Amino acid sequence: MELRDGIRTTGAIRGFTDQVVDDQVVHDILDDARFAPSGGNRQPWRVVVVKDPTLRHQLGESMKPVWDEYVAISATGKTPFTVVDASAYQLASVTPGNVPNDLLDNIGNIPVVLAVAADLGSIAMMDKDLDRATITGGASIYPFCWSVVLAARSRGLGGVITTFASRVEPTTGPLLGLPQNWALAATIFLGHPIKQTTKLKRHAVDKFTTIDAFNGSPFTI
């Protein structure tokens, strides 16, 4: 597949066939993804291939309340877990129900479950002293995560990056033996897609690009 096609057509896949994905394929995917960039080329990632059914179940059960909370907040029109609008957090305790989730309800059957952690001691958090939540550290780990999904796609697989586990890291971290000063960045689910979506809904360039300033005129051609 052309790189450009891959970039433009790799959507989130949450439904997988029963087809097993061999360890060799998982290894090959990670062997491609390791070429992702990171600040100072420190490559602060570690990956756990989650195979044990009990562990998968425990992770799934830990993450389900996060999904319930996410859905409950989304239903109010707010962005879940935003650091900007604290009222969204208060709403979180109001209505969470048991909302079905294709990934978490079937975690035992998903062909590949990867937990990705980041070594906070190896990340130069350039915005750490600003009076707002940090964001730059993620830039040293999520390109790797995305490369995992792209590398999977190049082999006919699909998948999705999720961050449920981070919200409950005090529970999921110890389950996975997360070392001190490491952060759970993502849980990535992979497999052969039941349906490969290729038409993605994304904003047009002039909706998010301006000239010379973020309040400048749209960058249109």
CB of 196 to ligand FMN, least distance (A): 11
C-alpha torsion sign, points 115, 121, 123, 128: positive
CB of 141 to ligand FMN, least distance (A): 10
Rg (C-alpha) for the chain, rounded Å, is 18
**Going by C-beta distance under 8 Å and a sequence separation of 6 or more, which residues neighbour residue 113?**
49, 50, 51, 56, 59, 107, 187, 188, 189, 190
Does 200 bind ligand FMN (CB under 6 A)? Our answer is yes
CB of 142 to ligand FMN, least distance (A): 6
Does 12 bind ligand FMN (CB under 6 A)? Our answer is yes
Site size with ligand FMN, rule: CB under 6 A: 12
Does 197 bind ligand FMN (CB under 6 A)? Our answer is yes
Does 11 bind ligand FMN (CB under 6 A)? Our answer is yes
Smaller CB separation from ligand FMN, 122 or 163: 163
Task: Tell me how crowded residue 36 is: count the other CB atoms within 10 A of its CB.
Answer: 19
Site string for ligand FMN, 151-180 (x = CB under 6 A): ---------xxxxx----------------
Smaller CB separation from ligand FMN, 104 or 175: 104
Does 182 bind ligand FMN (CB under 6 A)? Our answer is no
Smaller CB separation from ligand FMN, 142 or 144: 142
| Residue (of 39, 49, 188, 30) closest to 121 by Cα position | 39
Does 134 bind ligand FMN (CB under 6 A)? Our answer is no
Rounded distance, CA 194 to CA 15, Å? 6
At 117, the amino acid letter reads A
Rounded distance, CA 167 to CA 80, Å? 11
CB of 16 to ligand FMN, least distance (A): 13
CB of 12 to ligand FMN, least distance (A): 4
Point out which span in 49-57, 78-86, 115-123, 193-201 binds ligand FMN (CB under 6 A): 193-201
Smaller CB separation from ligand FMN, 26 or 186: 186
- Where does this chain bind ligand FMN (CB under 6 A)? 11-12, 14, 142, 160-164, 197, 200-201
